[in-house]
Structure 1
């Protein structure tokens, strides 16, 4: 109730400003706001003020209602008119930047934010928003540093700045930014989780374990457990490393890296049988199920360039990852039509048929392979 009361006071003040030159039914307008009928509120205000109104407060109020109703072109029109009457007014410029951002016009959004910074070089919000639109890591970093200088406690800027430092491999700077923000909000789990990989990079393994255990109690997260597993490994606590990563495996959340650390941990414990099992699991995890398809595509490109030996190598390389009746068929064609090696062609046509291609989908190919086997066998 207190929040609702405060909202009504704020809205009343806003309406009172626009009502000084026109008669407005404040109760009616407040009802529109309270029920979030912003489109109706905009329509009502437009019925009060003439289309050629020069009242900037009324125009911004109409623009705000349109913006909240999702009618961005109408909102921009009102704010542009207000801007022409009252240029360099920061709230209007922020609204125009927001509208252009929502409409995907990044160039205009940036232009309004840059104008705000020229008018107010210490405007934290403008630097924060502008950073999101920069293309290069260096430019983004520069703006985020400025925003962070103005407000070191803001969690969003701290997170984004730390990420920018991390991308540039400036791990200590990233860690320091998060450390400062966390000090002002010790229960911000998002910032603490973002700091974990940095702590690992900087060798703060005990810290990773301590923070990680607290985070896992709040919510089981694979990324947190992954960082904890690495920390345990570097601390030579191999059993704990295995326990953490096998817990991920049981949840189906393992990856190449977690399986690799399990293999290394078993090796350090001299349990070579299990180390071998997990080394093989690591290899299997690292190989994409689409790898054979990628090699098949590469081979097809070689064929198109009449580089038949390279195509042959690529097709066979694809088969080392996964048996594929498609590749067997392509090899049959390659040996048959391009390399003129009928014996090899027969072998691969047979392998194609033996691998049970889909009867309907591969109907023509199956018929062709059988026909060519008959012809080539007859030639023999």
Structure 2
């Protein structure tokens, strides 16, 4: 009887399996998942239809799509790879696999899939655009190559024109950068991003009147820092120094000044023979150009020389650091150097005193402060 039950169950199991493999998808249910963007649920639903180990091309591409839209890239790749094995020249499958690997940071695999697309369709604008993005350094020769190919296919596309112009600019080829941007801007005169990108290129080509005309229009849409600087430079090179000052001081009021802008403010005041203000800005330029950590770097250099018994170099490095900032740490190390290496108690006391006078951090430097006070007492008693 038991054997008979098993024999009866086997054909039923076969019928059940057949039914599962040929199950009809509830299109309304799937459509509802898509409409409400419940892609993870849609993928799980499709799994119940096609099975965990599905090989049906339509099924695996549907599941790959759903997992991709749900952000489950590992599962999406698994199903798209199955589809790829069946149709290795299917462009949508190749694009999906390339995109998935790019999102997961597997750039080498993404490049491989994109290059396979090129073999099939060498005039595919999007694949060159995506490939260029996988080479983030503007001066990379392959990035330049793919941007050039994309730009040749569609010279009016703004993103590619911008990126290609940036690469040309970094490579000091301002003429090509200008031409690339000019073509795209002529097709889309309202693209302010491209117009802003063109200003420094035009400045480099000494098209100062163009920079001023275009830049002043852009400034009506807001005080963009780069535009202010570019227009100010154009005014400077056309010897309109007060205009230069007005724009660079506006930049300063926005807290967007840097060493370069302060330098040209200084030069402009000098040209106007306002030497007092020029002097003030010259000092600002110097301060801006010096890192607040410079004295720390010289302190570190001094320690390295000291530890290597290069005492003269250590002393010079410490004192050089003090030219940039009265650094308590440097005074402490000079005190130690004169105390124990030079056996010069007089200078040791001077630097120990300067260390305490410059208020080292009471909590962080507690041990050094305690030691310094004790050592000053010992040296004074010795005298």
Normalising by structure 2, report the TM-score.
0.91
The residue aligned with 1:286 is 289
Q: Structure 1: which 5+ residue stretches go unaligned?
A: 1-20
Q: Which moved more, 1:249-258 or 1:132-141?
A: 132-141
The residue aligned with 1:179 is 182
State the distance in 1 between where 2:129 and 2:253 align. 41
Q: Indicate whether 1:379 and 2:352 are aligned.
A: no
* SS of the residue 2:324 aligns to: coil
Q: Structure 2: which 5+ residue stretches go unaligned?
A: 1-21
The residue aligned with 1:238 is 241
Instruction: Identify the match of residue 306 of structure 1 among 298, 306, 309.
Output: 309
**Shift in Å, 1:41:** 1.1
State the distance in 1 between where 2:287 and 2:269 align. 18
Q: Which moved more, 1:159-168 or 1:51-60?
A: 51-60
Give CA deviations for 1:302-334 in whole Å, capped at 9, x if unaligned: 122221211111111111111111111111011
* SS of the residue 2:226 aligns to: helix
Q: Indicate whether 1:324 and 2:327 are aligned.
A: yes
The residue aligned with 1:9 is none
**Shift in Å, 1:25:** 2.0
* SS of the residue 1:218 aligns to: coil
**Shift in Å, 1:22:** 5.2
The residue aligned with 1:274 is 277
After TM superposition, list the pairs within 5 Å mapping 1:5-44 onto structure 2.
Answer: 23-44=24-45
Give CA deviations for 1:39-79 in whole Å, capped at 9, x if unaligned: 01111122221334333232112101101111111000010
State the distance in 2 between where 1:47 and 1:242 align. 71
The total of aligned residue pairs comes to 360
What is the alpha-carbon root mean square deviation over aligned residues?
A: 1.4
Give CA deviations for 1:92-123 in whole Å, capped at 9, x if unaligned: 00100011111111110111011111111111
Give CA deviations for 1:185-205 in whole Å, capped at 9, x if unaligned: 111111111111101100111
* SS of the residue 2:55 aligns to: coil
Q: Indicate whether 1:159 and 2:162 are aligned.
A: yes
State the distance in 1 between where 2:322 and 2:275 align. 29
After TM superposition, list the pairs within 5 Å mapping 1:245-264 onto structure 2.
Answer: 245-264=248-267
Q: Are 1:39 and 1:66, in contact at CA under 8 Å, matched by a contact in 2?
A: yes
**Shift in Å, 1:145:** 0.6
After TM superposition, list the pairs within 5 Å mapping 1:338-377 onto structure 2.
Answer: 338-377=341-380
Q: Point out the structure with max Rg over C-alpha.
A: 2
Q: Are 1:153 and 1:181, in contact at CA under 8 Å, matched by a contact in 2?
A: yes
After TM superposition, list the pairs within 5 Å mapping 1:155-234 onto structure 2.
Answer: 155-234=158-237
State the distance in 2 between where 1:145 and 1:28 align. 46
* SS of the residue 2:360 aligns to: coil
State the distance in 1 between where 2:129 and 2:256 align. 35
Q: Are 1:127 and 1:146, in contact at CA under 8 Å, matched by a contact in 2?
A: yes
State the distance in 1 between where 2:71 and 2:207 align. 48
The residue aligned with 1:3 is none
Q: Indicate whether 1:103 and 2:99 are aligned.
A: no
Structure 2 vs 1, CA of residues 239 and 94 (structure 1 numbering), >3 Å: closer, same or farther? Answer: same
